[in-house]
């Protein structure tokens, strides 16, 4: 390669990496300012001009959150709601996706498109009707009032994700197992689901994040403060006349730590599931 070719290649890499770093910096800037603000004294948060790096580093906001809020209770409730939502969503999505992937029946495409349409509605436009349903069935102020709608709104993504991945698994594996005497449940449980692990992890992660970050359902359906999750806990810190923004930011930072840990452990499966789930029928 000539010197001019080396120069063009080097310039191209500079443009690519420079663009990626700029984009990454733009996406991460709100998170950086949120985290940095939790280590500032409260007057510095609202100082003008704003400081990017804390001039006086302090952890008093974290000590105050630990002693003055129910942050551990909120985290525990977030885990409870998120895990239950994942379980309910997968119990419904797996049979639906597997059935569509392995069978041709009248109305299959209509069903799949109808499922997709549900994803297009914002929960807020349905919240009044959902409120009446929860009250009528005696679910108001129970965890189920949050878990059921959260699972329902994640079903379109989960069904389509698993449907696409199930179609990539060779049907010959199932036929061999069936010849060996395996039941349909055993085929699904022992063969299909282990092979679909990347798609399952992607579905679990999406559903977990959706339920973890839900404020609207908890705000509407739960009044008992012992059942609040992290977003509702942060919202409860808004007073009638003022809000302690530093405490709210600190609880928010604590609330995203479990999500970061989840991504750190499952990143490989999430990427594999996202990139392999789309299959043209």
Q: Give pLDDT tens digits for 194-247.
A: 999 888 988 998 999 999 988 999 999 999 989 999 999 998 888 766 778 888
Mean pLDDT, rounded, for 30-58:
86
Residue 41 CB: number of other CB atoms within 10 A?
A: 15
pLDDT at 279: 47
Mean pLDDT, rounded, for 60-77:
90
Mean pLDDT, rounded, for 10-23:
87
Residue 246 CB: number of other CB atoms within 10 A?
A: 22
pLDDT for 142-198, tens place per residue? 999 999 999 999 999 999 989 988 998 888 888 888 888 888 888 888 889 999 988
The mean pLDDT of the chain is 87
Burial letters 208-224, b for 16+ CB under 10 A, else e: bebbbbbebbbbbbbee
- pLDDT over 50 (residue 280): no
Please give the residue that has the higher pLDDT: either 47 or 94: 94
Contact partners, residue 130, CB within 8 Å, separation at least 6: 123, 149, 220, 221
Query: Token pair for residue 215?
Result: 């404020």
Question: What contacts 24+ positions apart, CB below 8 Å, involve 233-236?
Answer: 233/69, 233/70, 233/71, 233/74
């Amino acid at each position: 390669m000539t010197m001019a070719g080396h120069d063009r290649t080097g310039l191209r890499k500079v443009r690519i990496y420079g663009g990626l770093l700029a984009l990454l910096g733009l996406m991460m800037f709100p998170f950086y300012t949120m985290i940095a603000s939790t280590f500032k004294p409260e007057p510095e948060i609202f100082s003008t001009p704003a400081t990017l790096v804390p001039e006086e580093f302090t952890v008093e906001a974290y000590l105050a959150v630990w002693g003055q809020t129910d942050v551990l209770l909120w985290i525990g409730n977030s885990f409870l709601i998120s895990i239950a939502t994942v379980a309910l969503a997968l119990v419904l999505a797996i049979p639906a996706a597997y059935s569509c992937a392995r069978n041709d029946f009248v109305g299959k495409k209509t069903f799949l498109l109808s499922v997709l349409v549900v994803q297009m509605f914002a929960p807020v436009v349905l919240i009044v009707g959902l409120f009446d349903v929860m009250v009528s069935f005696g679910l108001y102020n129970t965890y189920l009032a949050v878990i059921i709608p959260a699972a329902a709104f994640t079903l379109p993504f989960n069904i389509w994700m698993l449907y696409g991945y199930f179609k990539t698994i060779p049907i010959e594996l199932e036929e061999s197992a069936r010849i060996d005497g395996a039941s349909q449940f055993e085929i699904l449980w022992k063969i299909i689901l282990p092979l679909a692990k990347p798609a399952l992890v992607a579905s679990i992660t999406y559903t977990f994040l959706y339920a973890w970050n839900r404020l609207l359902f908890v705000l509407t359906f739960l009044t008992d403060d012992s059942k609040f999750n992290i977003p509702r806990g942060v919202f409860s810190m808004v007073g009638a006349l003022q809000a302690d923004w530093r405490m709210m930011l600190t609880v928010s930072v604590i609330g995203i730590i479990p999500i970061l840990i989840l991504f750190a452990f499952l990143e490989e499966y999430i990427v594999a599931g996202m990139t392999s789930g789309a299959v043209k029928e």
